[in-house]
Structure 1
């Protein structure tokens, strides 16, 4: 009976974890540049002597959907969308991470940020001098019209990387390479100014997945009750 209980309880735990993953995807259906997580199920043997035939299910969320979201025009000069599988590099602690969100902001000190994180350029975090107008070229070059000038001047270039390799998310929800390596700047990645990429979450798919997982959880609970009933029947036979 304990073999069935191992299977049932770990299966129920995996279903609960999967429901959290899909719920988080749904919660970010309107988050610009958000990449949906996939819940991946697996199995492993229960460690310890005498448990060779016992197995339990496992779940992980280190797989990120690579499909692109729809693009909507905003007309805002600091909004950009990365074309293809490109990514924008941002500061993350002492290193860097990557994002598809192109909602950029400039603070009072001229720091260019995305969600409070410094945007990286050719020489590190991008810091802009006072300007009246900002333009972002297709290759990520940042040009400004100085407060006391009449011509646009190139001041830096966004670090854009190729994100077609396997990616995962760190604890901050930013994208990183699965092997932990820093991605090199790409000369082929292009951006589009005045537009944002929507989340690549498909709400209908996520809702269907949540309902299917709920049914799986119910089945696991019924199997648990069946296992409990068989144990009780066995105990009665032993007592008799």
Structure 2
């Protein structure tokens, strides 16, 4: 059987995965805090028929050798944490981070923690600041009774203040903390705009807004997806043409086999 049939098949499988990744990026073009994925490919094992450097004569050697590859596979998918554009909302509980690698820390129902760039927070019935799925912000921010929500302010340094009842001066009710990782690309995306710490990402590095490397907090803004539609459309065209090209190698190999089989006639 011709190896080119299997080589072409690996190319088609790889480009299908590429299209799947592009489709997910485009599907999340309006997802708050979404970070696009990139696919990295690598070539498969080579069959060496003649090794480079093999002696040809007593005074010379073969300069390049003879080898043939066996296709391609997906080596990795990487989250690109380039910062997205900011959208002004005017909502007091919408927060954006100017630091490219900083994250909010979110407490999950099972007591573990996840991390997010999505700053579209809400207030639940217990006056707690939560995500859209009801997960608590860590450290917790809880509005006191009689707090006037439209006076809630979050400074660039992450200090949270609000006016309570008839008080003229705002009261500090909490302080936002941010978190970084040595290798954010190693974080595990788990859906719901959340990431989990892994061995590859390294342990969390806590810090405060406006510290070097953490950026500041923008109240009344949301960070949008960093997906660029034109870029993804170009990637889709490239993947489609590569898929077609690989299918042509399979068709050509099939035609060659058909010609070989027909030699007896």
TM-score category (smaller protein): 0.7 to 0.9
Map 1:54-133 → 2, pairs under 5 A: 55-59=70-74, 62-85=77-100, 86-92=102-108, 93-122=110-139, 125-130=140-145, 131-133=147-149
| 2:2 is the alignment partner of 1:8 | no
| 2:131 is the alignment partner of 1:135 | no
CA 218–45 in structure 1, closer or farther in 2 if over 3 Å, else same = same
CA drift of 1:54 comes to 6.4
Contact 2:26–2:227 (Cα < 8 Å) also in 1: yes
Aligned partner of 2:226 in structure 1 is 200
Which deviations, in whole Å up to 9, do the C-alpha atoms of 1:49-83 show, x marking residues without a partner? xxx97634222553111221121221111011101
CA distance in 2, matches of 1:53, 1:221: 19
Which has more strand, going by share of residues? 1
Contact 1:126–1:156 (Cα < 8 Å) also in 2: yes
Contact 1:165–1:177 (Cα < 8 Å) also in 2: no
CA distance in 1, matches of 2:41, 2:134: 33
User: Secondary structure of 1:97's match?
Assistant: strand
Please identify the structure whose Cα radius of gyration is greater: 2
Aligned partner of 2:194 in structure 1 is 174
TM-score normalised according to structure 2 size: 0.77
CA 10–232 in structure 1, closer or farther in 2 if over 3 Å, else same = same
CA distance in 2, matches of 1:145, 1:138: 18
Q: What stretches of structure 1 of length at least 5 have no aligned partner?
A: 47-51
| 2:25 is the alignment partner of 1:32 | no
CA drift of 1:25 comes to 1.0
Q: CA RMSD in A?
A: 2.6
CA drift of 1:211 comes to 1.1
Aligned partner of 1:49 in structure 2 is none
What number of residue pairs does the alignment pair up? 232
Q: What stretches of structure 2 of length at least 5 have no aligned partner?
A: 47-66
CA 230–127 in structure 1, closer or farther in 2 if over 3 Å, else same = farther
